[in-house]
Structure 1
Amino acid sequence: MLVLASIILLYSCDKDYNAIGGDLIGDNHFDFSTYTSNVIAYNQKVGPVQSNDLAVNGLGIYTNPAFGTTTANFATQVSLSSLSPEIGMNPVIDSVYLDVPYFVDASKTKPNANGGSIYELDSIYGAIDAKIKLSVYESGYFMRDLDPAGGFQSAQRYYTNQNADFDGKKIGNRLNDGANTAQNDAFFFDPAQHVEITTDATGKITKTYVAPRMRLKLNKSFFDSKIIHAPAGKLATADVFKEYFRGLYFKVEKSGSNAGNLALLNFKLGKIIIKYKEDLSTTVGTVVTVTRVDKSIDLNMTGNSVSLLEQTNTNAVYSNATASPNTVDGDENLFVKGGEGSMAILGLFSTPGELTTLRSNGWLINEANLIFHIDSDKMKDVAGVKVFEPNRVYLYDLTNNRPVVDYFNDATTGTNPKNGKLLYGGSINKETSANGRGLTYKIRITNQIRNLIKNTDSTNVKLGLVVTEDINTVTSNYLKTPNSFTSQVPKANVMNPLGTILYGGKSTVPLDKRLKLEIFYTKPN
């Protein structure tokens, strides 16, 4: 019995070693044998997709010659930071401004000799100093919480192609109507810090340095009427206020001949700050003294929101590829784009009897990878226009609309939360030069393949490939019109405005660029 127990123990250790070691061997595959399998991969158009309440939203205009032009508008509800604000006598507004912070690259932030810091903006696509025409309106479109078509049992969905609905319901003139064109007709995402100067009661002056942000002066008369002198009861409850002030609509257009650019923003961190003065009465004995005091009211940019995308000047090659995919032999190029973009669908082990043979071999699977090669010719800069590449792609179980096993099993983290899942992969591999272009995306699906080969009752599911803005976000949003393969796409794909062109697995693709499944294994003794 002791000998038998020892044999079982040694055999178990050997199996565990192979299972665990498969996640550690990296690109050094020692003396493992290699098996490559053809992959049938083809394009699928996404089209209008649910885009309400995203973590980040695009704003601006971005043109990628390989795909076309994306114009990103935005609408949001607003809420009072404090209901029923106490507004005293003779209130007069000093200023109203909208404030939304930008993303900055912390690794490139430098001290400023004059105080504060020098910043470089992150998540800006297009020339950094490009201009766009930006108009902020009061929105007349009421954004419901619940969908009446679902008997008020399900959340209301809003979609990327609803810009005309919101544009048609905007009220009055734009609110950012000041003389400074940098805040409207020639707006740009300014990387400069803001300096705020305050003076206390003793006359002491304090400077505060604030990181770059969108800061727009808004029409004082509008907010005096809408907030300071609001009708009775309109500021008393959240529901009444949402109906009374339905929110803001951000509309972008080209500014003259400028190509424009697009930024990703977290509007939920945004605010509208109303600063005003009012009378404060104090009574000492029979003497009443009236002084002017500074007050403020904040409106948070929270509640329902929606990213509104318009696609124009679409590249004909891209349109044709997504309109007529080859689902039998696969496509030569895979066009993977976020927003109202497109995805790739992958089928593994398409050769008849292949999976059955692999299961009968009894191999120990040490590692399995999919390596996607970027078509650098189609993704190169055109006429001086920089083409931005997605930092990451995401492969998932399309059949069941969930992550693959390797995603769940990967607990690795990066210095940035968005850079986690390091073993699972999907991050872009670039040339080593300073402005090197992308070469490949590698995704490890060792456990997905190991389970499929080991368990005869496992289903060989379709896989989906999309770009992603955040690898940690794997929930899905609904397509407005489901296709024959799916009714949803990952939410993080909707946030990302970028796209890439990859080589597919079709036999006409050069062998060194062709998409294949690589399996590293050891044979049982």
Structure 2
Amino acid sequence: MNTTSFLKKALLVVIVVFFASCDKDYNEIGGDLIGGNNFDFNKASFSVQAYTQKTGAIQSNNLEVNPLGIYSDSNFGETNANFNTQVSLQAAVTSVGARPFIESVILTIPYFKDDFKTKVNADGSRTYVLDSIYGAANAKIKLSVYESGYFMRDADPLTGFQQQQQFFTDQNTLFDSNKIVDRLNDSSDKSQNDEFFFSSTEEAVPVTDSITGAKSTKYIVPGMKLNLNKEYFKTRILDAANEGKLASNNVFKNYFRGLYFKTEKIAGSTGNMAMLDFKKGQITIVYKQDVASPTGGAPTREKKTLILDLSGNSVSLLNNDFSSAGTTYNSLPIKGNAAAGDEKVYLKGGEGSIAVLDLFDKTDIKGYDGQGNLTSGANGISDELDDLRNPADGKKILINEANLVFHIDAATMANSIEPQRVYLYDFKNSRPVVDYSDPSANNIDPKKSKLLFGGIIEKGVTSKRGTTYKIRITNQIRNLINNKDSTNVKLGLAVIEDIFRINSYKVRTPNADINSAPKASVMNPLGTILYGGSSTVPLEKRLKLEIYFTKPN
């Protein structure tokens, strides 16, 4: 009883001391928690070599979100994003009644909005702020929607139909040349075609109660809403139902092969680009038909609705134009300086580029100075990683935390939209690093989840512009040091749209340098410029691996 009571009290004291210490900085932890002068708490900065690696054209089919429009960036040129998708029936239609007449054909695609900035007005309407819109507000583009004439197969015949058919960012000519020439969004309202823009204005729809006759207003959140040619859809869709073309989706997808969205720049406008979830898009066809009377009398008119979903195979089609901007990026070699590293690394989503990182360097080292920097020693050239694994004094170290800190070239990026997140992964094996398994993950916001793993942009208090990205790789470094069989693989860094999309997509022309890049990077059209680990970079901006560790005296 007395022993048990003592142990409980001792455990309570330890717990109190531990939680009281959590709010202290690293130096205080080293002195107070470990104490007794038995351990030293240190910080060391290690060199990292990084270089730019361009992907070229890359696989872009069946992305969760896709860019549409035109975005101009002074550092990365102008990107034109088109899109092609299959269309499917919500329900099979085996026949349509006599004298069919289409009242409306409306294409709708919702926009992403910032719920935290939405304001509710006194009349019940709302003022919205759209999310993931790049470029000047309400900048206009020419938007054309066509029926696609290209059949997007599910499986690749070159693999004996054993693998999914891949489509790539540079195949716009293929889909453009196979489109059906009739423009479907041919409304006289130019905001739906020749002067289209992504509007944040909600739609107010008058509503009359069918029982009381009371009138009210229904507000519909902002989204793309295009009136499509009614005669075209009567001929292609309703008239084809009685021919069996709408009897199943397998038949229908071969008959009506989808939609092709084409965007073009117009005079006097820089253009605009939006990220869209096309799979939530629909074509709603409202029509009337004759229904035979069961008693043999005159037929009655019946209103019907036929809905087509923008689901099935799809592809993001991108074109980069460097004729007026992004000349520095365009002149970069496909592969940067892998031996010494680049002074700056350029990350660009879509058909863009990633960075390749080498941790640890061959350096003349023996220990660490009072500021935690590596010091030169008399033991000659030694590998940094080997020195951590096998300290010269034989005293094993304990890794408390390890981070990669990337500094943004803020001056060059001053007029660019900055990616909100970058993603670190195992470049050699195209998979996440160990620290990706972050217990802080949540599914609320894919751009802000996995906070412990990091990679989210950090901004200056005054400038509100990006300063750094920091990524935690504590377990990655622990494994390298503690498991001597672990391989110090090259790491990749890319801008991303969604932290949960960790699979990789194939580059169009794989080679010894690169064969894939993260799918989430293909989804994001933005770019950023980071300082590398080259010795020519000022020390305070230089890419570094920061390790906090405990070492016995």
Superposition TM-score, scaled by structure 2 size: 0.87
Using the TM superposition, give the Cα deviation of residue 283 of structure 1 relative to its aligned residue in structure 2, in angstroms: 4.9
Task: Find the counterpart in structure 2 of residue 3 from structure 1.
Answer: none
Task: Find the counterpart in structure 2 of residue 261 from structure 1.
Answer: 272
The Cα offsets for residues 440-472 of structure 1, whole Å up to 9 and x where unpaired, read as 000010110011011110000000000010111
Say which of 462, 466, 470 aligns to 1:442. Answer: 470
Say which of 491, 505, 520 aligns to 2:533. Answer: 505
| Conserved? CA contact 2:26–2:41, under 8 Å | no
Measured in 1, the distance between the counterparts of 2:402 and 2:27 equals: 11
Measured in 2, the distance between the counterparts of 1:123 and 1:412 equals: 22
Using the TM superposition, give the Cα deviation of residue 411 of structure 1 relative to its aligned residue in structure 2, in angstroms: 3.7
Using the TM superposition, give the Cα deviation of residue 26 of structure 1 relative to its aligned residue in structure 2, in angstroms: 12
| Conserved? CA contact 2:51–2:335, under 8 Å | no
Task: Find the counterpart in structure 2 of residue 364 from structure 1.
Answer: 398
Structure 2: 5+ residue runs without aligned partners?
1-6, 32-39, 363-381
Q: How does 1:270-349 map to 2 (within 5 A)?
A: 270-283=281-294, 288-313=297-322, 315-323=326-334, 325-349=336-360
Measured in 2, the distance between the counterparts of 1:398 and 1:137 equals: 39
Q: How does 1:49-448 map to 2 (within 5 A)?
A: 49-84=58-93, 86-199=95-208, 201-202=210-211, 203-230=213-240, 232-283=243-294, 288-313=297-322, 315-323=326-334, 325-351=336-362, 352-361=382-391, 362-381=396-415, 387-413=416-442, 416-433=445-462, 436-448=464-476
Measured in 1, the distance between the counterparts of 2:443 and 2:92 equals: 41
- Change beyond 3 A, Cα 1:263–1:27: farther
Which is further off, 262-271 or 77-86? 77-86
Measured in 1, the distance between the counterparts of 2:443 and 2:454 equals: 11
Using the TM superposition, give the Cα deviation of residue 324 of structure 1 relative to its aligned residue in structure 2, in angstroms: 5.2
C-alpha root-mean-square deviation of aligned residues, in Å? 2.6
| Conserved? CA contact 1:410–1:422, under 8 Å | no
| Conserved? CA contact 1:137–1:170, under 8 Å | yes
The Cα offsets for residues 378-429 of structure 1, whole Å up to 9 and x where unpaired, read as 1012xxxxx2000000001111111111112444338524311111100000
Measured in 2, the distance between the counterparts of 1:508 and 1:412 equals: 37
| Conserved? CA contact 2:457–2:466, under 8 Å | yes
Q: Which has the larger radius of gyration?
A: 2
Question: Identity of aligned pairs, percent?
Answer: 53
Measured in 2, the distance between the counterparts of 1:273 and 1:485 equals: 47
| Conserved? CA contact 1:283–1:289, under 8 Å | no
Which is further off, 351-360 or 66-75? 351-360
| Counterpart amino acid of residue 400 in structure 1 | N
Measured in 1, the distance between the counterparts of 2:78 and 2:470 equals: 28
| Conserved? CA contact 1:29–1:520, under 8 Å | no
User: Partner of 1:441: helix, strand, or coil?
Assistant: strand
| Counterpart amino acid of residue 223 in structure 2 | R
- Change beyond 3 A, Cα 1:206–1:349: same
- Change beyond 3 A, Cα 1:27–1:512: farther
| Counterpart amino acid of residue 374 in structure 1 | I
User: Partner of 2:68: helix, strand, or coil?
Assistant: strand
| Counterpart amino acid of residue 496 in structure 1 | N
Task: Find the counterpart in structure 1 of residue 505 from structure 2.
Answer: 477
Measured in 2, the distance between the counterparts of 1:152 and 1:254 equals: 39
| Conserved? CA contact 2:77–2:327, under 8 Å | no
Measured in 1, the distance between the counterparts of 2:441 and 2:181 equals: 51
Q: How many residues align?
A: 504
Measured in 2, the distance between the counterparts of 1:25 and 1:85 equals: 72
| Conserved? CA contact 1:49–1:480, under 8 Å | yes
| Conserved? CA contact 2:421–2:447, under 8 Å | no
| Conserved? CA contact 2:55–2:514, under 8 Å | no
Measured in 1, the distance between the counterparts of 2:123 and 2:262 equals: 36
Which is further off, 24-33 or 240-249? 24-33
User: Partner of 1:54: helix, strand, or coil?
Assistant: coil
Using the TM superposition, give the Cα deviation of residue 204 of structure 1 relative to its aligned residue in structure 2, in angstroms: 4.8
Task: Find the counterpart in structure 1 of residue 379 from structure 2.
Answer: none
Superposition TM-score, scaled by structure 1 size: 0.91
Using the TM superposition, give the Cα deviation of residue 112 of structure 1 relative to its aligned residue in structure 2, in angstroms: 2.7
Using the TM superposition, give the Cα deviation of residue 356 of structure 1 relative to its aligned residue in structure 2, in angstroms: 1.2
List structure 1 segments (4+ residues) > 6 angstroms apart after TM superposition: 24-31
Measured in 2, the distance between the counterparts of 1:291 and 1:60 equals: 45
Measured in 1, the distance between the counterparts of 2:122 and 2:30 equals: 51
| Conserved? CA contact 1:141–1:166, under 8 Å | yes
Measured in 2, the distance between the counterparts of 1:208 and 1:301 equals: 25
Measured in 1, the distance between the counterparts of 2:402 and 2:237 equals: 60
| Conserved? CA contact 2:402–2:547, under 8 Å | yes
Using the TM superposition, give the Cα deviation of residue 278 of structure 1 relative to its aligned residue in structure 2, in angstroms: 1.7
| Conserved? CA contact 1:364–1:524, under 8 Å | no
Measured in 2, the distance between the counterparts of 1:324 and 1:82 equals: 50
The Cα offsets for residues 235-261 of structure 1, whole Å up to 9 and x where unpaired, read as 112111111000000000012220001
Measured in 2, the distance between the counterparts of 1:132 and 1:29 equals: 59
Which is further off, 351-360 or 69-78? 351-360
| Conserved? CA contact 1:397–1:462, under 8 Å | yes
User: Partner of 2:44: helix, strand, or coil?
Assistant: strand
Measured in 1, the distance between the counterparts of 2:278 and 2:28 equals: 41
- Change beyond 3 A, Cα 1:213–1:162: same
Structure 1: 5+ residue runs without aligned partners?
1-5, 382-386
